[in-house]
Amino acid sequence: MAHHTLESRLPQLRLAVLDVDGTLKQAESPYRYLHRRLGVADLAAPNRELALAGQINYAEWLRRDAALWAGQPVRKLRRILAENPYLPGAPELLAALKQAGVVVALVSAGFTLNTDPIVAEFGLDYALANELTTVDGVLDGGAINHVPEGGKAAFARALMTDLGIPPEQTLAAGDTRGDLELFACAGLRFAVNPRSTALRARADAVFEPDLTGAVTWLTERGYLPQESANQRISESANQRMNE
C-alpha cells in the first residue's frame, strides 16, 4: 500500500461513496464474470469490442449484454454472484464505516442483483446500479440504465447536497478511469488496484493488492474513531468465521 498523508486536511468522515466491482468485490466486471460463468463469453466479446471502439454507447452495450442472459433464473444469478468473493479488507472497511456512523453508499455500473446483497449484509444506506428486468423470477433480457456516463458523480453530489455533507467529509473509492468523476466529488480518495494511471495519480491512498489496512489507515489519521472501528472489525471477523 502506498499513500500520501493528509492528517490536517479532513475532519471525521460522514459519507463514503464506493464503487463495487474491483473495489469491494474481486471480479473487475460483473458482466464478464457472468458471461464466463454462464458460458456466453464468446457471444459477448463483439459487444465489448464495439463499445471500446466507440461504435455503440454504454446503454446499447448494456442492452446487448443483458439480452444474452434472457431466460436465466434470478435465483441462479444470485447464487453465482454470491460466489464472487470480497477483496480482503473490504468487509472490515464496510463494517467499520457503519459502526462509526458514516453514511455508506454504493454506486456501480454493474447491476442491483450484485449490489443489493451487499447492502443487506452490512446495513448500508444507499445504492445505485443498473437493473436487469425480470418476469416471474426469470430474466427477460432487458435492462434499465440507472448509471449512465457521469452518473456516479451525479449520484454522489445529490447525496452530499441532500445530506448536507461537504466534500471535506466524503470518501470516494474506485479502481478504474470511470471512477475519476467520483474522485472529483470527494475530499478523500482511495484507489484500489487502480487500472488507470490517472486514477492512481489522483488518489490520496492506493491499496494493493486488496483493502487490508484501509481501516487502520483511516483510524490512524482520525477519519474514523479507533475504538468503534476495532470493535466492529472484531464483530465482523467473528460473524464471518461462524458462517
Q: Does residue 22 belong to any structural domain of this protein?
A: yes
Question: Could you tell me the residue range of the domain that residue 217 belongs to?
Answer: 7-241
Instruction: Please check whether residue 131 is in contact with residue 47, taking contact to mean a CB–CB distance below 8 angstroms.
Output: no
Element (H, E) at 98: helix 90-99
CA–CA gap between residue 207 and residue 138 (Å, rounded): 38
pLDDT of amino acid 226: 83
**What are the residue numbers of the active site?**
19, 21
Q: How many domains does the chain have?
A: 1
CA–CA gap between residue 97 and residue 108 (Å, rounded): 19
**Domain of residue 209, CATH code:** 3.40.50.1000
Q: How far is CA 70 from CA 32, 78, 146, 149, in A?
A: 16, 15, 19, 25
The amino acid occupying position 35 is: H
pLDDT of amino acid 7: 44
pLDDT of amino acid 241: 56
* Cell, residue 44: 459477448
Q: Does residue 123 belong to any structural domain of this protein?
A: yes
Query: Cα dihedral sign for 38, 40, 42, 46?
Result: negative
pLDDT of amino acid 230: 59
DSSP conformation letters of 39-52: T-HHHHHHHHHHHH
Q: Does residue 1 belong to any structural domain of this protein?
A: no
CA–CA gap between residue 197 and residue 38 (Å, rounded): 32
pLDDT averaged per 10 residues, the chain (length 243): 45 94 97 98 97 95 98 98 98 98 98 98 98 98 95 97 97 97 97 98 98 97 78 56 56
Under DSSP, the state recorded for 184 is T
Q: Does residue 2 belong to any structural domain of this protein?
A: no
Q: Does residue 216 belong to any structural domain of this protein?
A: yes
